[in-house]
Every structure is written in structure tokens, then in C-alpha cells.
Chain A
Amino acid sequence: MENIDVGILVVDDELVVRDSLYNWFKEDGYRVDTAEDAKMALKKLQESSWDIVLLDIKMPGMDGMELQKRIKEIDANMIVIMITAYASVDTAVQALKEGAFDYITKPFDPDDMGHLIRNAVAQRKLTEENIQLRQKIDELSKFDEIIGDSPAMKRVFELVETVAQSDATVVIHGESGTGKELVARAVHSNSPRRYFPIIPVNCGALPEGILESEIFGHEKGAFTGAQYRRKGKLEMADGGTLFLDEISSIGTKTQMDLLRALETKQFTRLGGTKEITVDFRIICATNQNLEKMVEEGTFREDLYYRINVFSIYLPPLRERRSDIPLLANHFAQKYALAMNKKITQISPGALDLLVQHDWPGNVRELENAIERAMVVGKPPRIMAEDLPFQLSAKKTDLTSDSLEEIEKTHIQHILERMEWNITRSAEVLKIDRVTLYNKIKKYGLKR
């Protein structure tokens, strides 16, 4: 910020004070104006924009204290500096409590004044950068990254919006590649915590001991190799959100520590004794059936109930095939831009293949397939042969001609894919749960 871009308004009933401050700032190259009373000041504040207001505490009519309140109502980020005589330092301290940036006692040292104004300008700049950053964050806080128009995805968006407003712990269920982290980020970036970070931890990628120190941090010497004190991800998420991906992979010790941290919002670093208080929200994601793990005793029941306050089920891609063209086009555009290739379309044949495919790796697999097709394909469109699989190669298990045999195989297939979740399997099969139970019994299907 150049000095000329900084607007300073001097409000003082004494002409000499106004004049000398006016000259002083003018010589420093600032944009400056003066007002002799609160009324004039408010008028000037409305007429043009100011960054810093220097305000005499004692003025006839509305005094500086009252005027400060009014200014803060107009612009809460306005830098207000109080000018005071020795006699009213108490009032100045009161003004600081009410949000004044600083106060300066008449007459002041030229050097102090210089410092004060430089600090005020720096503060103002910082505030403006923060406001810009917030605007940027607010722009990002839509679901731009998550693509889908299917009823299943519309439901997901609804849930995200609902849960974002609360501080409840969320578990996102979904196969790998369905975009669980994107949903976690959407919840975070639409929540009141969005100005603080979301810190992801991939629990599945780390061995138990390391995972523990990753989450909780450690003190120097907590274990061999712990040469420095290290903050854990939980501390880094202070004010924000901790995203625990693959929550099912965490060991029993970490499960216990996590439960305690969730209950008390307090924890200690590994090898430490000091209780650290952190304000965080937890969002978990899993591709495993946690309920089943609780039954089997591999996941703590109390922790399960703690985290499973709200759950979002992210359907696999094959359960929302109508979204495939939308997604495919989105990725095609994305990579066309990144690779600077003029491929703008997907041929009907290729699109047909894409919609038919089962996508065990879900959206991530689709993205990879499009990326690859963009590399091998030629403008202007992606053709069927650019795709890594062909329709003829589509695997079919239908070896029998009997309708019952086909039904049995198909139900078995869906149940396995849904990890034997009856509700979801019934949804996919478009039959009710009772019918599904009857068919499982009839065909003697087992896990």
C-alpha cells in the first residue's frame, strides 16, 4: 500500500491540532482530511473511504468515545487512534477496550507518531488481506468439486448442508474412490469453522505408533527418534476440522486416546503430561463396515457411537450411472485445459461404454480413465478405443440359462459389493428388505 492510498481522517475541535496533523500527514504523502466535530466526521466518513481515524477524546458535543462507537458501527475494521491529553489517559484505556487501535498523548514524540501510523497501516493492510482471503474461502465453499445430479447425490448435498451447520461428528461411508475427502471438505468449508484449517490424516497409511504421534504429537524424547517436540494434527486443527480417513484402521490404543480427546476436548502429547485443550470437529471416513467391526470387537463400541452422530453414505458410481456423462465431461474439460488439448467431446460410443462400466474404483477410476483417454485420444473427441476397457470385455458371470440361477448369482454379487448391508443391497436391487431376506434364505446365500 502506497501512502497516497491510505486515507487518514483527523477529528479534533482544536484548529492547531488539525492543522499540524494535516501538514504532518500531508508531508508523509498520505491522503488526509480533517473534521472539527463528530457531525462533520460522520459526514466525511460516509462521503469517502478512510483507513485511519485520529480522534480527539474530548470534544464539545459528541465526544471521541461516542464517535468511536458510531465509527465501529459503520466499519468494524476501521483503525481508530485516540488523541488524548495527560489528564484523560484513563478514558483512553477505556477506548482501547472498546476497540481503539491505540492512543497517543499530546504532545507526542515525532518518532512515536511515525511508528504508530506505520503500525496502523500495516494492521489495516492485514485486515484487508484477511477480508479478501475470507471472500476467497467463501467462494470456494460451494460443492464445486463434487459433481452429480442423481437423486443419490442430491441427497448427499442436502446432508452436507444440514450437517455443516452443526458441530456434530460425521462419518462418511463409501467405497474407495467415491470422493469421501471431497465431501469432508465440503462439510468443513460450509461450516462456521471454514476460516480455520481442515487437517487430513490418512489413518490407513500409517503404522499404529506413528499414527498416534501424528494425531497427538509428541514431546522431545517420547520415543527413540523423537528428537524434537512436535505438534500433532489435532493441535493444528484447533478451531477447524480433523479429517480422519480410513478410521477403521486405527488400533485399540489410539481408539481409546481419540475417544478421550473427543469427550474432554483435551489430550496430552506422547511422552507429555501437560493437558492441551483444543477446539476441533472430527469428520471420519471409512470404506469398511464399522458396525460389523464393532460386533467383531475390533472397533470400540463407545467410540463408534461417539463418531457416528451423523452419517453420510456416498454411493458408488455404479449406483448413480446417470452422473457418469456429467463427470466424464467434467474431467475431459479439466484435462483438456491442463494438457492444452482441443478435445472437447466424448463420442456417443465412448460415453456408452463409460456408462456401462461398473467402476469398482469409482470416480477416481473414471477420472484416471478420462485422463488416459485424453493422452492417447485425438481431437476433437474421445473415442471408444481411447478407453482402457471395451464393452466386449465386460465380465459376465451369467453362465446359466436359468432365470433363478441368474437371480441368485446377481443377488450374491450385489450383497458382496454392498458388504452384506441389507438395506443398501435392497436399494440397489430395487426390492424391499423383506423380499431380499426371503431370497437370501431361498437361495441359501452366505457371506
Chain B
Amino acid sequence: MAFICVVPVHLPQESLLIPLLEHISSSFHRETRIVFLPIDPSFAYDHSRKQHNSSLLLAKLVDIKPKDALRIVGVTDLDLFIPILTFVFGEAQLSGPASIVSTQRLRNEFYGLPKNDGLLQQRLEKEAIHELGHTFGLVHCRNDLCVMRPSTYVENIDLKPPQLCYSCLKTIDEKLKAIPP
């Protein structure tokens, strides 16, 4: 049975994953499981940027994805980058199997603000759905009330809801119909 696989990659705060599972499975109507896989992310570390290369981690996730998993999403607290950008909240393969999200810049503490776990949880859920949305072929959406709206800074994430808009839902339903649960 095809399921969505959530993999912690250097994530001390594993408690974040439980509500996340729920949210992913209700968003995509697919069983969602946490799978602990051995990943040492140090190979993706860039010494000059003091960040981890998100694309390299993504490639690794593709390699280790369980065969029966429909999609894989890595969750990490490492600060991620791609070579041309100063940072990314996450990365996904458009219509591909893998995606990754980072909690690093979703934390209030990163911006010198008081810790807020509730807010962190919400942001993580939105970004995970967003990146998974890409793996199901969704591109960015202009609707303000859609999780597929692109966010280039954290306040943007707070402005959008954790769900897909009607039009994105319709698109994704078509895709999901083709994949039996």
C-alpha cells in the first residue's frame, strides 16, 4: 500500500512529527508514517556557508526512500540552502518522489523573538504540505488563501492557511485518482 513517508533528518524535537502526520494524511488522503532511516547529513554541509545543501539531501532521500512509499518528506532542523539562494525553507522535486523541509527558519528564536511552539508547528505543517504539493505536480498558486502560495519570508507563511485552495485541490485530486491508495 502506497504511503507517504516522513523521515526525521537531524531533528531533536521529534514531537513535532505527530500532529504533522495527521495533517499530511488528511490533506492527501493517504496513509502517512514516520520512518526512521539512518542518514548522516554531514556530507551535505558547506563549510564556507555553514549551511546544508538542500539539493544534496534531497538526492539522498530519493536513494533511501522505501520502495513502497509513494512520497518521502524529510524534516530537519538544519539550515538549508541551494547554491543560488541564501536559504530555503524547503525543497521538492516537482512531480518527483522527494521533498524536504527545515524548521530552522520557522522558529521565532531564529529572528530573536520568543519561542512559540504552536506557531512553529503551524509553519512546519504549511511548509510540508507546500513541498509535498510540489511533488504531486502543483506549482505556486496566486490565491492568498492557498498553501501553495510561495513564501519567501516567514511572515508570508503565517498569512496563508494550511490547506490547498479549491483549484489546487481539484488538480491534485486528478493526480491522486491515478495513484491507488
B81 to A107, Cβ gap below 8 A?
A: yes
Given contacts A107-B86, A108-B85, contact A27 B55 (CB under 8 A): no
A15 to B, closest residue via Cβ: B83
* Complex contacts, B15 vs chain A, CB 8 Å: none
Q: Is residue A225 contacting chain B, with contact meaning CB distance below 8 A?
A: no
Instruction: Give bound CA distance, A83 to B85, whole Å.
Output: 12
Most-contacted residue by chain B among A14, A17, A24, A83 (CB, 10 A)? A24
A26 to B94, Cβ gap below 8 A?
A: yes
Q: Is residue A20 contacting chain B, with contact meaning CB distance below 8 A?
A: yes
B84 to A29, Cβ gap below 8 A?
A: no
Instruction: Give bound CA distance, A16 to B58, whole Å.
Output: 14
Q: Which of A63-71, A110-118, A284-292, A374-382 contacts B (4 or more CB under 8 A)?
A: A110-118
Instruction: Give bound CA distance, A3 to B91, whole Å.
Output: 20
Number of A-B contacts (CB under 8 A): 63
B81 to A, closest residue via Cβ: A107
A21 to B, closest residue via Cβ: B84
Q: Is residue B139 contacting chain A, with contact meaning CB distance below 8 A?
A: yes
Produce 1/0 per residue, A8-49, CB < 8 A to B: 000000101101110110111100000000000000000000
Given contacts A16-B55, A28-B150, contact A110 B88 (CB under 8 A): yes
A106 to B152, Cβ gap below 8 A?
A: no
- Min CB–CB distance B58 → chain A (angstroms): 10
Query: Size class of A's contact patch?
Result: 20 to 34
One of B49, B81, B88, B139 near A26 (C-beta < 8 A)? B139
B83 to A20, Cβ gap below 8 A?
A: yes
Produce 1/0 per residue, B89-130, CB < 8 A to A: 001111000000000000000000000000000000000000
* Complex contacts, A114 vs chain B, CB 8 Å: 150, 152
- Min CB–CB distance B59 → chain A (angstroms): 11
B83 to A16, Cβ gap below 8 A?
A: yes
B83 to A107, Cβ gap below 8 A?
A: yes
Most-contacted residue by chain A among B92, B94, B150, B153 (CB, 10 A)? B150
Most-contacted residue by chain A among B55, B85, B134, B139 (CB, 10 A)? B85
* Complex contacts, B153 vs chain A, CB 8 Å: 110-111
B83 to A27, Cβ gap below 8 A?
A: no
Q: Is residue A158 contacting chain B, with contact meaning CB distance below 8 A?
A: no
Query: Could you tell me which residues of chain A, from 103 to 143, have a CB within 8 Å of some CB in chain B?
Result: 106-111, 113-114
* Complex contacts, A110 vs chain B, CB 8 Å: 85-88, 152-153
* Complex contacts, B87 vs chain A, CB 8 Å: 110
Instruction: Give bound CA distance, A240 to B92, whole Å.
Output: 54
Instruction: Give bound CA distance, A16 to B85, whole Å.
Output: 11
Instruction: Give bound CA distance, A106 to B85, whole Å.
Output: 7
* Complex contacts, A83 vs chain B, CB 8 Å: 84
Instruction: Give bound CA distance, A27 to B134, whole Å.
Output: 7
Q: Is residue B140 contacting chain A, with contact meaning CB distance below 8 A?
A: yes
Given contacts A29-B140, A114-B152, contact A109 B85 (CB under 8 A): yes
Given contacts A111-B152, A114-B150, A114-B152, contact A27 B139 (CB under 8 A): yes
A20 to B134, Cβ gap below 8 A?
A: no
Given contacts A110-B152, A111-B152, contact A20 B140 (CB under 8 A): no
Produce 1/0 per residue, B34-74, CB < 8 A to A: 00000000000000010000010000000000000000000
B93 to A, closest residue via Cβ: A23
Instruction: Give bound CA distance, A83 to B94, whole Å.
Output: 24
* Complex contacts, B91 vs chain A, CB 8 Å: 23
- Min CB–CB distance A2 → chain B (angstroms): 9
Instruction: Give bound CA distance, A28 to B153, whole Å.
Output: 16
Instruction: Give bound CA distance, A332 to B107, whole Å.
Output: 75
* Complex contacts, B82 vs chain A, CB 8 Å: 16, 20, 24, 107
Query: Could you tell me which residues of chain B, from 130 to 175, have a CB within 8 Å of some CB in chain A?
Result: 134, 139-140, 150, 152-153
Instruction: Give bound CA distance, A110 to B54, whole Å.
Output: 14
- Min CB–CB distance B158 → chain A (angstroms): 15
A29 to B139, Cβ gap below 8 A?
A: yes
B83 to A17, Cβ gap below 8 A?
A: yes
Instruction: Give bound CA distance, A29 to B83, whole Å.
Output: 21
- Min CB–CB distance B54 → chain A (angstroms): 9
- Min CB–CB distance B48 → chain A (angstroms): 11
Instruction: Give bound CA distance, A377 to B152, whole Å.
Output: 69
- Min CB–CB distance A406 → chain B (angstroms): 82
* Complex contacts, B85 vs chain A, CB 8 Å: 20, 24, 107-110, 113
Query: Could you tell me which residues of chain A, from 306 to 331, have a CB within 8 Å of some CB in chain B?
Result: none
- Min CB–CB distance B64 → chain A (angstroms): 21
B94 to A23, Cβ gap below 8 A?
A: yes
Most-contacted residue by chain B among A28, A29, A106 (CB, 10 A)? A29
Other than A20-B84, A109-B85, give 12 A-B pairs with Cβ distance below 8 A: A3-B140, A17-B83, A20-B82, A24-B85, A27-B134, A27-B139, A28-B150, A106-B83, A106-B84, A108-B85, A108-B86, A110-B85
18 A-B contacts (beta carbon < 8 Å):
A3-B139, A16-B55, A16-B83, A17-B83, A17-B84, A19-B55, A20-B83, A20-B85, A21-B84, A23-B93, A24-B82, A29-B140, A107-B81, A107-B85, A109-B85, A110-B85, A110-B87, A110-B152
The 8 closest A-B pairs by CB, nearest first: A111-B152, A29-B139, A110-B152, A20-B82, A16-B83, A28-B140, A20-B84, A109-B86
